């Protein structure tokens, strides 16, 4: 940036207007050389910032007459004076862009000759479609889109059409970016009902705070269920209207699978405990010493009775004043002796043989 940007008033403009303004903006020196172009200008005219550097703004006019008019108007501008012009400019691709512009004169700094600021808008809808609204081109959104390892979508809040997405989003759902951009998010939802219900909740949250979070289930291209933690951020325009929705998804599918497996295991453990309780109640006590002839030591018989009522090794060790490892060693010896691999199997074997366990 030139010394033109060192004026305090212009600093404020550059910091708060240039990067997020909807209009295309050029900062030029007194000779018409471009020293800065905002994101909207780069999008509209199909250039990078470095490609614009030191190019003449006057040469962007299509006709020689308009180039001469631009040059003459810029030379005649006084500091803070403004002139409105309408003419056809051209992009790198040769697209003709009819534009309405305001040229504003700027004082020089540190002995420089000054320059001028150009603020304009394309006058036709076809030109307006050649660049994304600058709200989607500001630094914050660009960092979120390209700097996030999680899938990110830029979405139109009203239509829920995908404006853009990062490679991680395409990879997660199995679609290419070109197939996702311009399409409705409905293609990622398991049903239209879910699409509408979640959309309603997002809109309600965003109307209050601009942010929404929840866990949702979406579908990949192959129909597979993908569990995600969804976070949306709504960006509002100058009149308070929602202009863009940024949706960040964190894939929690594997975590959900693990949770489901643990839940099923806990359920099965509860069922086995209930079955063991029923077996204990149905035991048939015989003889004055039920463990006679079984080969149990007195201590092992005692441990087997405790196991039948569901006590853990730690609880048994505490009750008998033993170490937990000693209790586990006793059970391991009993497992080997009777060819079983768990306490449940051991207790079931004793009940089958009508051993009194209480």
pLDDT of residue 334: 86
Greatest CA separation found in the chain? Answer: 120
Q: Which fold has domain 3-128?
A: Beta-Lactamase (3.30.450)
**Predicted confidence band of residue 291 (pLDDT cuts 50, 70, 90):** low
Residues 232/211, Cβ–Cβ less than 8 Å: yes
pLDDT tens per residue across span 201-210: 998 887 776 7
pLDDT tens per residue across span 310-332: 888 888 888 888 888 899 998 89
pLDDT of residue 336: 87
Residues 8/111, Cβ–Cβ less than 8 Å: no
We find that the CATH architecture of domain 270-352 is Orthogonal Bundle (1.10)
- pTM for the full model? 0.39
pLDDT of residue 142: 64
Residues 333/346, Cβ–Cβ less than 8 Å: no
pLDDT of residue 124: 54
The mean pLDDT of 56-69, rounded to a whole number, is 90
Fold matches, 3-128 and 134-251: yes
Give me the residues paired with residue 62 across strands.
Answer: none
User: For the ranges 202-211, 216-225, 332-341, which has the lowest average pLDDT?
Assistant: 202-211
CB atoms within 10 A of CB 140: 13
Rounded to 5°, the CA angle 242-247-253 comes to 155
Mean residue pLDDT across the chain: 77
- Write out the CATH class of domain 134-251: alpha beta
Q: Cα–Cα distance between 35 and 33 in angstroms, integer?
A: 6
Domain ranges in the chain are: 3-128, 134-251, 270-352
Q: What is the three-state SS of 229-285?
A: EEEEEEEECCCCCEEEEEEEEEECHHHHHHHHHHHHHHHHHHHHHHHHHHHHHCCCC
Q: Cα–Cα distance between 158 and 199 in angstroms, integer?
A: 10
């Amino acid at each position: 940036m030139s010394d033109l940007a060192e004026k305090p008033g212009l600093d404020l403009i550059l910091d708060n207007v240039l990067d997020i303004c909807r209009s295309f903006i050029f900062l030029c020196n007194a000779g018409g050389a471009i020293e800065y172009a905002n994101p909207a200008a780069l999008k509209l005219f199909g250039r990078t910032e470095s490609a614009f550097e030191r190019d003449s703004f006057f040469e962007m006019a299509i006709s020689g007459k308009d180039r001469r008019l631009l040059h003459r108007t810029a030379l005649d501008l006084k500091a803070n004076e403004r002139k409105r012009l309408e003419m056809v400019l051209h992009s790198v691709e040769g697209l003709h862009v009819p534009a309405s512009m305001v040229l504003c004169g700027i004082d020089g700094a540190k002995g420089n000759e000054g320059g001028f600021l150009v603020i304009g808008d394309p006058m036709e809808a076809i030109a307006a479609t050649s660049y994304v609204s600058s709200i989607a081109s500001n630094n914050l959104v660009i960092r979120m889109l390209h700097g996030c390892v999680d899938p990110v979508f830029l979405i139109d809040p009203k239509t829920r059409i995908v404006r853009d997405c990062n490679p991680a989003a395409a990879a997660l759902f199995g679609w290419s970016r070109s197939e996702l951009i311009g399409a409705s998010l409905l293609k990622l939802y398991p049903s239209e009902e879910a699409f509408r219900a979640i959309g309603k909740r997002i809109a309600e949250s965003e109307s209050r705070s601009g942010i929404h979070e929840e866990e949702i289930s979406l579908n990949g291209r192959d129909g597979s269920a993908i569990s995600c933690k969804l976070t949306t951020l709504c960006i509002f325009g100058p009149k308070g209207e929602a202009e863009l929705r940024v949706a960040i998804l964190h894939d929690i599918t594997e975590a959900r699978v693990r949770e489901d497996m643990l839940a099923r295991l806990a359920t099965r453990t509860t069922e086995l405990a209930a079955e063991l309780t029923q077996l204990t109640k149905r035991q048939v006590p015989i003889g004055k010493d039920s463990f006679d002839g079984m080969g149990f030591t007195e201590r092992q018989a005692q441990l087997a009775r405790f196991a039948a009522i569901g006590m853990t090794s730690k609880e048994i060790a505490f009750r008998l004043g033993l170490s937990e490892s000693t209790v586990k060693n006793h059970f391991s010896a009993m497992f080997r002796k009777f060819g079983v691999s768990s306490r449940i199997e051991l207790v079931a074997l004793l009940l089958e043989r009508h051993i009194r366990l209480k």
